[in-house]
Amino acid sequence: MEGYRNILCATDFSPCSETALKRASSLAKTYNAQLTLLHVVEHFPEDRSNEEIAPEYTDPAHYRMSRAREQLAAQAARLGDADIAQEVLVSEHAAKYGIARFAGEQQIDLIVVACHGWHGIDALLGSTANGVLHKASCDVLAVYATK
């Protein structure tokens, strides 16, 4: 079996994503692969917490991008690995589309994504991990992590 050369870890900055990032980092070290950490900013998210609302007199798009970059840098720093590439992608579609498209464009061999284990209406509508699994043209590792 040929090893992975380019590993992508998609994150939404949740505790579950932290677990997925640790697994992706371990795999990158095992295969001596490049690790890219990606966050997709959905242009029109259906739900947004009050923490993500831009302060008055601040451009909302710029605010979301700079916040995402800060959070990516913080996640990478917690791993202590300075060689993690960090990308923020703005998408007019759901994150699952952006993740799969980015992986195809960047010749990613493996996508690592957290599986939140949602049930009920969230499971019925489909999760990001499930969407990536069905849209990606490479291997996908869904890391299950408790909340």
- CATH assignment at residue 97: 3.40.50.620
The whole-number pLDDT of residue 45 equals 46
The whole-number pLDDT of residue 56 equals 66
In a domain, 40, yes or no: yes
In a domain, 15, yes or no: yes
Number of domains in the chain: 1
In a domain, 86, yes or no: yes
CA distance 69 to 65: 6
In a domain, 119, yes or no: yes
CB 97 within 8 A of CB 126: no
Low-confidence ranges of the chain (pLDDT < 50): 45-47, 50, 121, 124-125
DSSP 50-78: GGGSPPTTS-HHHHHHHHHHHHHHHHHHH
Q: Is 69 exposed, middle or buried (0-12, 13-18, 19+ CB in 10 A)?
A: middle
In a domain, 35, yes or no: yes
Q: How long is the chain? A: 147
The whole-number pLDDT of residue 93 equals 78
In a domain, 1, yes or no: no
In a domain, 71, yes or no: yes
Instruction: Tell me the residue range of the domain where 74 lies.
Output: 6-144
With CA atoms as reference, report the closest residue to 40 among 3, 74, 65, 70: 65
Q: What is the pTM of this model?
A: 0.81
The whole-number pLDDT of residue 46 equals 45
Which residues on neighbouring strands pair with residue 42, listed in sequence order? 91
Q: Is 44 exposed, middle or buried (0-12, 13-18, 19+ CB in 10 A)?
A: exposed
